[in-house]
Structure 1
């Protein structure tokens, strides 16, 4: 008996079930990228949108799916996500452009559905979606909006990224949509479920078993007490950097007086944490804003504190130059050892394109790495952690502890922190991430939370954690984006096959 294969659905524009699928998929989209409150939304939204696309005439499916993605993007961002807010015209343009990009995998699937059947068609959507998100990782906002990040609370599932990076998880989530739709087109017959749903279920079970075993059998290494300090919200705010850089001496002196209480608070809390047993104290990104003429004084004080308290101290400095032109400031982290020696002076390598890129020059794109008696450490700053190949320098060097001081804003504080959880699991290091205007966290190399605090929920945003001094080796750190390359190659093969079949028909 010849087994059945998935065939294109009957396409009629007034199919009520089809339009219901569209409504369900579009309603789920705002929860399918940045937010973790409904993790299953990132799995289900593509199921319904793909169903709509495959059951509508091409002239209806393509523009409506694009519109759904645009509306979903707007529902995700609303009008208050960015800080400062985008103008209505800029927000509309962003939603339109991003929505068009997110619609591309559906368009590819819809076009290939006319030419491919069976398992080839099941692969088309996950290969296209994985390819798209890999390409977006080279955009000015790398990996922003990846559906993988919505799964941060499912630690057994997240362990997959230690093997494949984000791409294995993105592929798996998209595979569900195409597998369900293939079985749907077979009316969920036993043969259709066996051919299309069963392979997905078996792989998903294997992934969860791997993740569960990885967590269950994780070694218990020695730890070091670490304190991460974000600045006091009552004493600190992000300054008008360009204005102060070009200001008169009188205005600069007024700024110097304004920041003194915040600086004193940081040093006082550093000393308290050291005396409470912390061996490493890490300040948030630009926790210490100073004018150029005070830079040396603040650094000398930090050196003395590290030496007197016998701790490793990384200070987050924002130094405002005296200049009317770019660069107006420098943004760097400087790590002192217990003898007061400088172990690294690292300048932020990837400024935010619509943020501090207007104020600072990027630093060298080399992750600083040092060996200490408490493990091998590395340090980068905030948005640097979004560039996968850059962070993987630490994974390839088998770093044990990664310091990522950050400065976010209220609306993005959780999704940005979640993205850095994944860097820890991908590369096998523990993460220490004190964050101004954001969500400060410390995790181990498996993404397990060690400490956290919300900058907007406390007057003393400090995290204290016993951080493992030994990381773990991961496959992804060594092989990088191999799965993404395979997805690109696989999609190219399917496109070539579709063209070949089309020519054969002609």
Structure 2
């Protein structure tokens, strides 16, 4: 009879795993169903808790690896062995919080037991954010509700990750002990109160904040992009041919920028590396850009790629050059975080600051995936962050959403001109003011009116204190589980 009931529990356990798999497919990758990211961990945690430690955690890692290898197939910019190593790493990271919960939660009780899983999830995500891929893969990016996302202005993305995983552990507490348990009632009440408070805070923040003044800004996107130019460069027979091609792109973008200035833009910008500039032609190009800015009294934030001659020991410079309405170069900033395998010279990690109609700054594309870098914008009271970018179709939606969250975290407006992706203009609270899809509108001049002033945020002031607190909390929970386990072993002989 006992084996019969064990068999039924075993079957139900694997049923949870089976039900979780389709949810994982829509909680990762290109197409996200936000609610799936709340439900899947509930089922997976139930599965792991009913399995032996090694088997349960290993199966979750294998399943996660398999799902990521499918849903991220077109999102990862490399293939072959590197791709499978990446997906295996993602699967392992995904499984670690489940392993921590399996070891520790059963040795604790009540509220403390429910905190192990979310604390472990935040700790793993935060540690991974220091790797070469930044915050890619964070569970927080599955959420679209703007009221919920206001939590990132206080905790960063780590608060969203915590809530998602705490929901799973509280749900499992109810599943295992029943809602009649006083300890479960306490944990559930605290969880529900926090979720309600988060949504009320987000709703109030959106309802009671409105910009008093706006600034007209424009993004220009032409038929040229980074990939098209570098294809020409590879096929060119001489440096002169390459320079002629680069000059044609420069003329095209300066012409579009002039058009945007004429229709009233105070700032004009364009995508990452959209304009190639041979090193020997840098001065001539800047002279033309300075003349345009002075003639039309407009700011330019130009995404350029300065490249040396083949065989030179000098490296590419992927950067944003700022020119003021008086025709002077105000600042420039190199891309700090290069995509793994991307050639070029990395920046120092200091954001350029431009005093204009407020405080303006810039980063380049992949930089937006590293919250610790972008937090400079919040600390320096940046009102508008310009982020020239270049994507591809598989990551277009996800990457634009990630960028929007950086704006909410730091209370800054965001202007993100993007080739092969989504051009986005958002306010400091994440509201979309303008949006254009490169794949449906390949050439455009897009105008937007963005708030002239940003807003202060707790996250900008305190940084990743919530993530550090989760890590410290996990250590304390592990210590408590160890002490309690030792007491139980010591009490066993007396009890017998």
TM (norm. structure 2) is: 0.93
Counterpart CA distance in 1 for 2:283 and 2:474 is: 55
Where does 1:465-476 land on structure 2 (aligned, <5 Å)?
465-476=448-459
Is the contact made by 1:43 and 1:177 (CA closer than 8 Å) also made in structure 2?
Answer: yes
Is residue 285–residue 316 contact of structure 1 (8 Å, CA) maintained in 2? yes
The answer to whether the 8 A contact 2:224-2:249 is kept is: no
**What is the RMSD of the two structures over their aligned residues, measured on CA atoms?**
2.1
Deviation at 1:60, TM superposition (A): 2.8
Partner of 1:391: 374
User: What residue is the counterpart of 2:137 in the other structure?
Assistant: 145
Q: Secondary structure at the match of 1:237?
A: helix
Partner Cα separation in structure 2 for residue 14 and residue 64 of structure 1: 17
Which residues in structure 2 correspond to 1:46-57 (within 5 Å)? 46-57=41-52
Aligned residue in 2 for 1:300: 287
Match of 1:457? 440
Farther off after superposition, 11-20 or 120-129: 11-20
Query: Greater CA deviation, 165-174 or 192-201?
Result: 192-201
Q: Per the alignment, in what secondary structure is the counterpart of residue 439 of structure 2? A: helix
Give the equivalent residue in structure 1 for 2:254.
Answer: 267
Distance 2:101 2:6 in 1: 15
Counterpart in the other structure of 1:283: 270
- The 2-side partners of 1:182 and 1:241 are apart by 60
Higher mean C-alpha displacement, 57-66 vs 430-439:
57-66
> Which deviates further from its counterpart, 446-455 or 292-301?
292-301
**What stretches of structure 1 move > 3 A for 4+ residues in a row?**
10-14, 33-37, 187-193, 233-236, 240-244, 325-328
Aligned residues: 485
Contact 1:453–1:462 (8 Å) recurs in 2:
no
Distance 1:313 1:58 in 2: 57
1:346 correspondence with 2:311:
no
Q: Please point out which of 121, 126, 129 is paired with 1:129.
A: 121
- Correspondence for 1:3: none
Native 8 Å contact 1:34 1:147 kept in 2: no
Farther-moved stretch of structure 1 (255-264 vs 218-227):
255-264
How far apart are 1:11 and its partner, in Å?
A: 6.9
| Partner residue in 2 for 1:7 | none
Aligned: 1:41 with 2:41: no
- 1:59-92 residue CA offsets vs partner (Å, 9 max, x unmatched): 43122111122122213212x2234x411x3222
Following TM superposition, by how much is the alpha carbon of 1:113 offset from its aligned partner in structure 2, in angstroms? 3.1
Separation of aligned partners in 2, 1:482 and 1:392: 13
For 1:293-324, what per-residue CA distance to the aligned partner results, in whole angstroms no more than 9, with x for missing partners?
22222111111110111101111111110142
Structure 2 gap segments, 5+ residues each: 491-496
Name the CA shift for 1:191/1:502 in 2 (closer, same or farther; >3 Å): closer
**Where does structure 1 lack aligned partners over 5 or more consecutive residues?**
1-9
The 5 Å alignment of 1:20-419 reads 20-35=15-30, 37-78=32-73, 80-83=74-77, 85-87=78-80, 89-151=81-143, 153-189=144-180, 191=182, 194-233=185-224, 237-239=228-230, 250-324=237-311, 327-354=314-341, 356=342, 359-372=343-356, 374-419=357-402
**Corresponding residue SS for 1:367:** coil
TM-superposed CA distance for 1:15, in Å, is 2.6
Query: Helix, strand or coil for the counterpart of 2:212?
Result: coil
Given that 2:225 and 2:419 are in contact with CA atoms closer than 8 Å, whether structure 1 keeps it comes out as no
Q: Cα deviation per residue 1:80-111 (whole Å; 9 max; x = unaligned)?
A: 2234x411x32222111210111000000011
Aligned residue for 2:434, secondary structure, equals: strand
**Does the CA contact (< 8 Å) of 2:335 and 2:363 recur in 1?**
yes
SS class of match (1:445): coil
Q: Which residue of 1 aligns with 2:411?
A: 428
Q: Distance between the aligned counterparts of 1:349 and 1:340, measured in 2?
A: 26
Q: Given that residues 252 and 291 in structure 1 are in contact (C-alpha distance below 8 angstroms), is that contact kept between their aligned partners in structure 2?
A: no
Structure 1 position 502, deviation (Å): 2.7
* Cα-to-partner distance string for 1:9-46 (whole Å, 9 max, x where unaligned): x9768633221210122222233244453011111111
Answer whether contact 1:28 1:41 (CA < 8 A) is retained.
yes
**1:57 shift after superposition:** 2.6
What secondary structure sits across from 1:457 in the alignment? coil
